[in-house]
């Protein structure tokens, strides 16, 4: 789960950085490529299908914590990363 949460934080910061630098076309390369590899979405999906090991609870925790990180990191990144003109 830590890799997923780090990936979400990194993706949020990258979104703001690309938005502020005016290079939004790179988001289609960087976010699915690097961040998706880091977050191991397929592993999360596989784990969530294991009912004996609390798969549904794991998936719920993963989604809730990921959304919380996005809500925290996006505004912070917007304050820290300046707009380049």
> What is the tens place of the pLDDT at every residue in 2-17?
777 777 788 888 888 8
Domain count, the chain: 1
Residue 64 resides in a domain: yes
- Asked whether the whole model's pTM tops 0.85, one would answer no
Rg (CA), the chain: 15
- CB neighbour class for 32 (10 Å; exposed up to 12, middle 13-18, buried from 19): exposed
Residue 85 resides in a domain: no
Domain holding 7, by residue range, is 2-80
Q: Return the pLDDT at 75.
A: 93
Residue 54 pLDDT > 80: no
15 with 26: CB under 8 angstroms? no
- Sign of the alpha-carbon torsion through 14, 18, 21, 26: positive
Residue 69 resides in a domain: yes
Q: Which residue matches tokens 């789960």?
A: 1
DSSP state of 32: I
Q: What's the pLDDT band for 24 if we cut at 50, 70, 90? A: confident
């Amino acid at each position: 789960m830590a890799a997923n949460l780090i990936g979400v934080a990194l993706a949020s910061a990258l979104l703001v950085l690309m938005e502020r630098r005016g290079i939004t076309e790179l988001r289609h390369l960087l976010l699915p490529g690097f961040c998706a590899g880091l977050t191991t979405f397929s592993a999360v999906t596989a784990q969530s299908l294991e009912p004996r090991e609390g798969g549904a609870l794991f998936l719920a925790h993963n989604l809730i914590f990921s959304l919380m990180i996005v809500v925290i990191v996006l505004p912070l990144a917007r304050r820290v990363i300046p707009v380049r003109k």
